[in-house]
Amino acid sequence: MHWTRWGAAGHGPAAAAILLVAGASVSAGFAQQAPPAPAAQPARFVVVIDAAHGGDDTGGHLNDGQLEKTANLAFSVRLRSLLSARGIQVVTTREADQSLVPDQRAEVADHARAQACISLHAAETGSGVHLFVSSLAPSSAARFMPWKTAQSGWVTRSLGLAGVLNSALTHAGTTVTLGRTALPGIDSMACPAVVIELAPERDADKKTISEPDDAKYQATIAATLAGAILEWRADEGRTAARQP
């Protein structure tokens, strides 16, 4: 069976972590005398952006004849630029038209030990933005997780991330639909993971205003998502500060 490991990478950091835990245990008796630690954001905050499909895997055909893989890559580049401009470290699974299998995408995400993993898709049906979280049942995260169901330990946080993205998009006036799905790449990611499927922008009569590969439409959605991820970073910081 293929397993994935999360947490400290390598023996050096692992040893350091053990020392830290031991140190914390020793000093626990003095915790009441020590001043409360100030709330701080986590030292590192990494976002993985996965532009779905690529290479021979073209994905779907959009209504204007464009390939889904091209729209996904353009959206990935836009979102990466906006996040980098806000000081967030971004790791992308692909920067060009290259073919990747789902396991390779999950490996990139798991090695990055990211605080948010975003898989980008585009669709010709529906409207607005479709947010999906893995349909795996939640379980407690362990040091070693089965490869195919690694996401089960993170589903609760993935739902939290989807909630933050949903709030931001809805507040910006975007139509959002939420769902659960089974995707091999996402199910193997050991991070809060959300699939974002960009569908055409439609008016009240269901007439298409913008296709998913429209540059202006993508830029608007990417800006909203970047703001939401900043909020997610702040939430993660508050959560980290609350933990002993």
Which one of 66, 92, 127, 218 is in contact with another protein (CB under 8 A)?
A: 127
Q: Which is it for strands 89-92 and 208-210: parallel, antiparallel or unpaired?
A: unpaired
CA distance 25 to 38: 20
Neighbours of 227 (CB within 10 A): 18
Binding track, positions 17-56, relative to another protein; x by CB under 8 A:
------------------------------------x---
Q: Report 172-191 residues binding another protein (CB under 8 A).
A: 177-184
Give CA angle at 207 (202, 210), nearest 5°.
50
> Is residue 133 part of the contact set for another protein (CB under 8 A)?
yes
* 205, 158 Cβ separation under 8 angstroms: no
- Whichever of 111 and 202 has its CB closer to another protein, that residue is 202
- Whichever of 111 and 124 has its CB closer to another protein, that residue is 124
> Least separation, in Å, of the C-beta of 185 and another protein?
10
> Is residue 195 part of the contact set for another protein (CB under 8 A)?
yes
- Whichever of 47 and 52 has its CB closer to another protein, that residue is 52
CA distance 44 to 196: 23
Q: Report 197-236 residues binding another protein (CB under 8 A).
A: 197, 199, 206
> Is residue 123 part of the contact set for another protein (CB under 8 A)?
yes
Which one of 162, 168, 193, 221 is in contact with another protein (CB under 8 A)?
A: 162
Give CA angle at 206 (203, 212), nearest 5°.
75
CA distance 95 to 85: 17
**In which residue are the tokens 């202006």 written?**
216
Closest by CA position to 183, among listed 160, 213, 145, 150: 150
Contact positions vs another protein (CB under 8 A):
53, 57, 59-61, 68, 121-127, 130-133, 135, 159, 162-163, 166, 177-184, 195, 197, 199, 206
